[in-house]
Chains A and B, each alone.
Chain A
Amino acid sequence: MNNTININNLDKTYFIGDIKIPALRNINLSIESGEFVAIMGYSGSGKSTLMNIIGCLDKPDKGNYLLDGSDTTNMKKNEYAKIRNEKIGFVFQGFNLLPKANAVENVELPLLYNRSGITSENIRKKSVAALERVGLGDRLDHTPVQLSGGQQQRVAIARALVNSPAILLADEPTGNLDSKTTIDVFQLFQELNEQGLTIILVTHERDFARYSKRIVELRDGRIMKDKLVTDRRYAKSDLLLLDKNNEENDL
């Protein structure tokens, strides 16, 4: 795996009527393959905007974004679609599940648009496996309204992972989860990261950001800090600790 994200002098400005809203200003960021980056910042600091651009859902106004050395700014729509489908898994802040489709159907979606000629049985198998991985093996045919917020979020994570992407982008993937489930998810992320998956996620909580390897802080669309995590937490041992505490409480 050799995916590198290279962002140079990137600007993104929104307009509401005549009012200029600079969402990102002069961003320079490069992320190597195998990194685990947490993006932090106040609400409105531009985290989602940056994630959307990295995820090839949106385009910058200025500057360029190189993915694996090729400039994405001038790519054709279909190349963009291919990157979204094969290279990147995206977990949205608001889940973005199909409301009328059940959990498996939602997870199947990226595979349905895959061009590799995968069979329908394999699509089903992979989707079920992805759901089992996030602990929803018993909720396959539930539609989003029949699932809790946390469960919906995990369906969204399963969907992002189902096509085995090289990069996982997650915009506040644990925002709706209790701390135990959050640590569960981070354990999964750490495990996947160990296997080589590049992860970029947005979180508001410094405690959770410590599960990553590097923290990038945004403020008013600018990168304020970019530091490696020195006091890294490991979800596996946290979970063990949690179990032990629970047992003691039960006694």
Chain B
Amino acid sequence: MKFSRLLKVAFISIIRVKLRSLLTTLGIIIGTASVIIMVGVGQGAQSNIEKQIQSLGSNLIIIAPGSSKSGGVRGGHGSFNRFTMTDVENIQEQSINLGAISPVLARFFQVIGGGNNWNTQVFGVSEQYPLIREWKVETGNFFGEREIAGRAKVAVLGKETAEELFGNSNPVGEQIRIKNIPFKIIGVLEEKGQSMTGRSNDDLILIPISSMLYRLSGSRYISFIFASAKSVENIDQAQNEVIKIMRKSHNINPGQDDDFMVQNQTEITEAATETSQVMTLLLGAVAGVSLLVGGIGIMNIMYVSVTERTREIGIRLSVGAREQDILLQFLLEAMTLSIIGGVFGILFSILTIYLLNEFSNLTAVINPLIIIIAVLFSAFVGIFFGFYPAKKAAELDPIIALRHE
């Protein structure tokens, strides 16, 4: 029989048992929809994590004190466990692959300004810090090399801090007191939102590192060194270069462990995405099982259908239908059922994902690839689970099929 005619026959057969067809497709609808939704939610979480990591700044390299190998026996050479400005200067002078570099020393202080009192984190950094973090100044300016050299009492406020202290009025030019020392506000940063740790990136104060060291902390140690590679491509080179410089200046002999850690953003991203990928995979697998169950539902119905319609098959065979005609007819029925189920599953999942994004704090993405895979898979389920009953139908002996009651 011509394919288009077979398709018509299959369609008519499906229409004739509407309720049963609907119930059969329900399994596929739920299966396809849950695959798309689950993977969508998983990938939504994944892209959230990636976005947050991106907010650290591109090409970021973080150098922290301490060994990356926690269990190793440390050598007896002096205690270089904390960094000083000398480390920053060494790296700055010797590196060729780094674009920007900044020391970071953070402390919590009670800050007074605009008639208000606010406890916040104060960061001592260099003038290159905004470049590394890709932060922008919304009003006013950031401090420069001159302010660093002069240990200037200037501060740049995060958006939230500015609002807490000064409300909606422009704080640039105003004064704040940190540890009773007056600082002049010279700029306010753009709003950036949540950081990965959940702490706001907008509630902070940036001051020159020199002012931090000499006026506030009273020690010569800094917490971290933040740097950025000149480009994403040479981030590994930059990292290796930093390690080499640090080992040399800390007099670490070959074979001895580093007394510092260098991490780049790709590594951080990889670790985080790997976790969320595993989660996506797991969600998808669970959903896949339900699709499989839907497929078994189709097989079940096809079996019932073949048994019920044995006489019909006999009649078709008796007027000259060939084995492959019957096989194809039942296969097409199974496939049509599962594809219809797949299509409704897609519509349902798109609606659900839309509602999730709109009315819940879950982020789910619609992945066209997963949709294609889900459709192909549901067609495959139709073929796979429809084949055996269809084959059974096609191989019937006409006279036996006709005698069937």
Contacts and interface: CB of A to CB of B under 8 A. Distances in A.
Contacts of A90: 318-319
A98 B315 CA distance: 7
Interface residues of B, number: 20
B312 interface: yes
B16 interface: yes
Contacts of B317: 81, 84
Contacts of B1: 112-113
B399 A113 contact: no
Contact of A113 (B314, B325, B398): B325
A94 to B, nearest CB: 9
B320 A96 contact: no
A232 interface: no
B402 A113 contact: no
A90 B398 CA distance: 13
B319 A110 contact: yes
Contacts of B5: 112, 120
B220 interface: no
A52 interface: yes
Nearest to A52: B399
Q: Interface SS of chain B: helix, strand, loop or mixed?
A: helix
A77 B322 contact: yes
Interface string B9-40: 10000001000000000000000000000000
Contacts of B325: 113
Interface string B290-321: 00000000000000000000011011111111
Contacts of B87: none
B163 interface: no
B312 A57 contact: no
Contact of A159 (B9, B319, B323, B399): B319
Interface centre among B5, B318, B320, by most A CB within 10 Å?
A: B320
A97 interface: yes
A85 interface: yes
Interface string A72-84: 0000011001101
Contact of A78 (B16, B312, B315, B323): B323
A109 interface: yes
Interface string A40-78: 000000000000100101100000000000000000011
Interface string B279-297: 0000000000000000000
Given A96-B315, A98-B315, A110 B322 contact: no
B16 A100 contact: yes
A86 interface: yes
Nearest to A95: B315
A135 to B, nearest CB: 22
Given A92-B402, A96-B402, A109 B315 contact: yes
Contact of B398 (A57, A78, A120, A159): A57
A245 interface: no
Interface string A167-203: 0000000000000000000000000000000000000
A9 interface: no
A140 B129 CA distance: 86
A109 B316 contact: yes
Contact of A96 (B16, B318, B323): B318
A98 to B, nearest CB: 6
A58 B312 CA distance: 17
Contact of B320 (A52, A98, A114): A114
Nearest to B324: A78
A114 B321 CA distance: 8
Interface string B195-213: 0000000000000000000
Given A58-B398, A58-B399, A85-B320, 8 more contacts: A57-B398, A84-B319, A85-B321, A90-B319, A92-B318, A100-B16, A113-B319, A163-B320
Interface of A: 52, 55, 57-58, 77-78, 81-82, 84-86, 90, 92, 96-98, 100, 109-110, 112-114, 120, 159, 163
Interface of B: 1, 5, 9, 16, 311-312, 314-323, 325, 398-399, 402
23 contacts: A55-B318, A57-B318, A57-B398, A57-B399, A77-B323, A78-B322, A78-B323, A82-B322, A84-B317, A84-B318, A86-B320, A96-B315, A96-B402, A97-B315, A100-B16, A110-B319, A110-B320, A112-B1, A112-B9, A113-B319, A113-B320, A159-B319, A163-B320
